[in-house]
Amino acid sequence: MKLKEFAGIMNELAPIRFSEGWDNPGLLAGDENKDVGRVYITLDVTSEAIEAAHEAGADLILAHHPLIFKPVSRISSDHYVGRRIMKIIAYDMALFAMHTDFDVTCMGAEAAERLGLIETKVLEPTVSEEYGLGMFGYLKDDLKLTELADKVKKDFEIDYVRVYGDPDDTIVKAAVLPGSGSSAIDAACAEGCDVLITGDVSHHSGIDALEKGISVIDAGHYGVEKLFIGYMKEYINSNTPSIEVIEDRTGDRSWLR
């Protein structure tokens, strides 16, 4: 399959026109007429992921986070972004990213489904009332905050979360926004949510949320967003069965001691 055909199928799932204005999804490196038979899916285009993709014989790296966000003034070995771009090209691979276009069409809904939320709605509509960032809804059964924290770890297969709130508080209504979601705290409050599940919440944002009357479960930026890898593997297997998919195993680069 030609890369431009593959890109078209990805665009059917998450139209690039739905992405945020500051974002940079789509084909970031490579020839659209390149033949693609093996795809390596990763959240981040790290040097380790590039090497793993090359060793796996991938033709294309499909990433959630774009390697290139801002205009690049030079591509050289003395710049960390340049080095990675040079390696991708030298290894005869292409790079395609699906970021906020995927977030508004798939990410929030998939996260809410994994949590088993019901009567869900978009937390921060962007394209329309049906498409936007994050979701909120009701838990099937009321849980204590500490019980929900354990459920988040289980549902998203992560080892730890950071929690702001009383462990014994009862949670009825929850919001989830994968990735960096401190900015969604007010939106979750406005919808009457008892908790926001997200990532990258600073100490001050966490304690301010409590003052606003909402608890926070910080599952890390990677923790929830890594569902992108499995989701896209299933989508590609269903829609382009001739293409082999390899999932990234380099994992989260952050850790707690």
Q: Does residue 37 sit in the same domain as residue 87? A: yes
Q: In whole angstroms, how far apart are CA 155 and each of 75, 119, 146, 253? A: 40, 19, 14, 20
Q: Does residue 182 sit in the same domain as residue 91? A: no
What CATH number has the domain bearing residue 67?
3.40.1390.30
Q: Does residue 44 sit in the same domain as residue 19? A: yes
Q: Does residue 50 sit in the same domain as residue 92? A: yes
In the numeric block, the tokens 């993709």 are attached to 53
Identify the pLDDT of residue 215.
98
- The string of DSSP codes covering 39-80 is EEEESS--HHHHHHHHHTT-SEEEESS-S--S--S---TTSH
Q: Does residue 96 sit in the same domain as residue 114? A: no
Identify the pLDDT of residue 80.
86
Looking at the structure of the chain, the number of domains it has is 2
pLDDT tier at 252 (50, 70, 90 boundaries)? confident
Q: What is the distance between the alpha carbons of residues 135 and 19, in angstroms, rounded to a whole number?
A: 17
In tens, the pLDDT along 28-83 reads 999 999 999 999 999 999 999 999 999 999 999 999 999 998 888 888 888 889 99
H or E, element range at 111: helix 108-115
pLDDT tier at 257 (50, 70, 90 boundaries)? low
In tens, the pLDDT along 79-95 reads 889 999 999 999 999 99
Q: Does residue 158 sit in the same domain as residue 173? A: yes
Q: Does residue 255 have a pLDDT over 70?
A: no
Identify the pLDDT of residue 72.
81
Kindly state whether residue 252 falls inside one of the protein's structural domains: no
In tens, the pLDDT along 209-251 reads 999 999 999 999 999 999 999 999 999 999 999 999 999 988 7
Q: Does residue 253 have a pLDDT over 70?
A: no
Q: In whole angstroms, how far apart are CA 70 and each of 63, 66, 99, 193? A: 17, 10, 14, 35
- In this structure, are residues 182 and 204 in contact, taking their beta carbons and an 8 Å threshold? no
Q: Does residue 154 sit in the same domain as residue 55? A: no
β strands within the chain, DSSP E: 26-29, 38-42, 60-63, 94-97, 118-125, 132-144, 162-164, 170-180, 195-199, 215-218, 244-247
Expressed as residue numbers, the domain containing 50 is 3-100+226-247
b/e 13-43 (16+ beta carbons within 10 angstroms → b): bbebebbeeebbbbbbbbeeebebeebbbbb
Q: Does residue 114 sit in the same domain as residue 197? A: yes
Identify the pLDDT of residue 256.
60
Kindly state whether residue 125 falls inside one of the protein's structural domains: yes
Q: In the numeric block, which tokens belong to residue 51? A: 């090497």
Q: Does residue 91 sit in the same domain as residue 72? A: yes
At residue 236's C-alpha, the angle toward residues 232 and 238, to 5°, is: 115
In tens, the pLDDT along 145-188 reads 999 999 999 999 999 999 999 999 999 999 999 999 999 999 99
Kindly state whether residue 117 falls inside one of the protein's structural domains: yes
Identify the pLDDT of residue 251.
78
- Biggest CA pair distance of the chain: 57
